[in-house]
Amino acid sequence: MQDSQSSKLKSMNVKKVLAGLLFSSLLIGNVSAQQGYQPSEKNLQNREWFQNAKFGLFIHWGMYCQLAGGGNQGIAEWIMNDRKIPIKQYEKLPGFFNPVSFNPAEWVSMVKKAGMKYITITSKHHEGFAMYDSKVSDYNVVKRTPYGKDIIKMLKDECDKQGIKLFFYYSQLDWHHPDYFPRGNTGQGFTGRPEKGDWNKYIDYMNAQLTELLTNYGEVGGIWFDGMWDKWDAPWRLDETYALIHKLQPGAMIGSNHHKFPFPGEDFQMYERDLPGENSMGFNHTGAVSDLPLEMCETMNGSWGFNLVDTGYKSTKQLLQTLIKASGYGANLLLNTGPMPSGKIQPENVDTLMVVGKWLDKYGETIYGTRKGPVKPTTWGASTQKGSITYLHVLNYGDENLFVGKLPKKIKSAKFYDDKTPVKFKETEYGVILNIPASKKKSIDTILEIEM
């Protein structure tokens, strides 16, 4: 009880801090990015692929997993900042990172069974530690850990084998690099950070790391940036970074979790723990939804990184309904897991993913390859669309007669997806009413297939 209260409090505080940061971010002018950017043919194909894929696994794995939140439900990958751990002390963590049970084949098979089509993994989170063999910094998994293997390479090889796309999360914010200076809103108050630094050197370093990620691991899905919100006024040299990425891999999709309308050069727009246009977390101030492919990311409990005491797991019903609603907005769901220090995925997460995968085996046709439907997600559910077929997903069954508002065309046929029996309906001047007897109701999603 106490734990969940403190975690709520923490998340409220984080919300407040981020809301403040975002408010100040609204005050600054246009960030210069890749002006005049024209996506390549390959990039446009990848965008189509992305929109069809609908479901991916987000992986937050870094040195913080070993502290597992330190017994605090609200802390995981932010523990260095939140507990003000001096750099010298934090640097001890890699010394005992030895995930002997890491089995990429197992991870990727799990992803496939869950019905997920891609993985986005933290190549470097805010802690500044590279989970791959970086030549421009020895603060990486190969040089500093007893494990000594390139985790990103191992995962990429397996993804290639099993036909899963891999995206790299990359934190622009860095609590470890001395040249990340002047510091931003976070990363204050712990020792070991020099009071001077050369910002441009930091950006050079970041671009060098991105170059490694885009040249040493074959074709990647794209780069998932995070952390610009830490320092809005900094000269991020986004134009250069985005052009570099698109030069190295024109097909790679760039997205940035800056919580603002996408900048030129970005290929998809993401939302953190909110459906497109919604703002329950305080991140999405503008509410603006672009025409780019969309993605929403969400946790399975309350934490991104592994947290030992956060047992607030969302039900499979809640997660599936989130996936369905996201699809109703035309967005993907990137669902997160924080692997344990052993390299195993938390068993609770595996169980959840297997249930989700079973549902998708049966109903995936109404999700994959669809686009947002004619009825915007609302209290009763959502709609998806593929060609002349609209799928109405009734998530909250209220009444036998469901009023769905106006549809763009006359209905040719309406049936229950499950048994293909006809659905009675009436088209009125105000909209369509569909009759759904209680006997047809499904606990997660009652799907109607409408042809127009």
Residues at the contact surface with ligand FHN, assessed by CB under 6 A:
77-78, 226, 257, 272, 297, 304
230 vs 449, beta carbon nearer ligand FHN: 230
Among the residues of 216-287, which ranges form H helices? 238-248
257 vs 384, beta carbon nearer ligand FHN: 257
Q: Six-digit token pair at 206? A: 């970041």
37 vs 283, beta carbon nearer ligand FHN: 283
- Among 47, 54, 73, 192, smallest CA distance to 127 is for 192
Q: How far is the CB of 78 from ligand FHN (least distance, A)?
A: 6
Q: How far is the CB of 299 from ligand FHN (least distance, A)?
A: 8
14 vs 354, beta carbon nearer ligand FHN: 14
Helix/strand/coil percentages in the chain, nearest 5: 35, 20, 50
Q: How far is the CB of 270 from ligand FHN (least distance, A)?
A: 8
Q: What is the dihedral of CA 30, 31, 32, 36, to 10 degrees?
A: -70
Distance in angstroms (rounded) separating the CA atoms of residues 340 and 306: 6
Distance in angstroms (rounded) separating the CA atoms of residues 379 and 438: 18
Distance in angstroms (rounded) separating the CA atoms of residues 294 and 377: 15
- Strands 381-386 and 389-394, bridge-based pairing: antiparallel
Q: How far is the CB of 168 from ligand FHN (least distance, A)?
A: 13
Q: How far is the CB of 228 from ligand FHN (least distance, A)?
A: 10
Question: Are the beta carbons of 379 and 336 closer than 8 angstroms?
Answer: no
26 vs 105, beta carbon nearer ligand FHN: 26
Question: Are the beta carbons of 134 and 209 closer than 8 angstroms?
Answer: yes
Q: How far is the CB of 152 from ligand FHN (least distance, A)?
A: 17
Q: How far is the CB of 387 from ligand FHN (least distance, A)?
A: 33
78 vs 242, beta carbon nearer ligand FHN: 78
Question: Are the beta carbons of 425 and 446 closer than 8 angstroms?
Answer: no
Helix (H) or strand (E) holding 153: helix 151-162
Cis peptide before 235 (omega within 30 of 0): no
Q: How far is the CB of 350 from ligand FHN (least distance, A)?
A: 21
Q: Which residues contact 153 (CB under 8 A, 6 or more apart)?
A: 132, 133, 216, 217
302 vs 341, beta carbon nearer ligand FHN: 302
Helix (H) or strand (E) holding 206: helix 199-215
Q: How far is the CB of 183 from ligand FHN (least distance, A)?
A: 15
Distance in angstroms (rounded) separating the CA atoms of residues 75 and 64: 10
170 vs 363, beta carbon nearer ligand FHN: 170
76 vs 395, beta carbon nearer ligand FHN: 76
How many helices and strands, by DSSP H and E, does the chain display?
11, 16
Question: Are the beta carbons of 438 and 400 closer than 8 angstroms?
Answer: yes
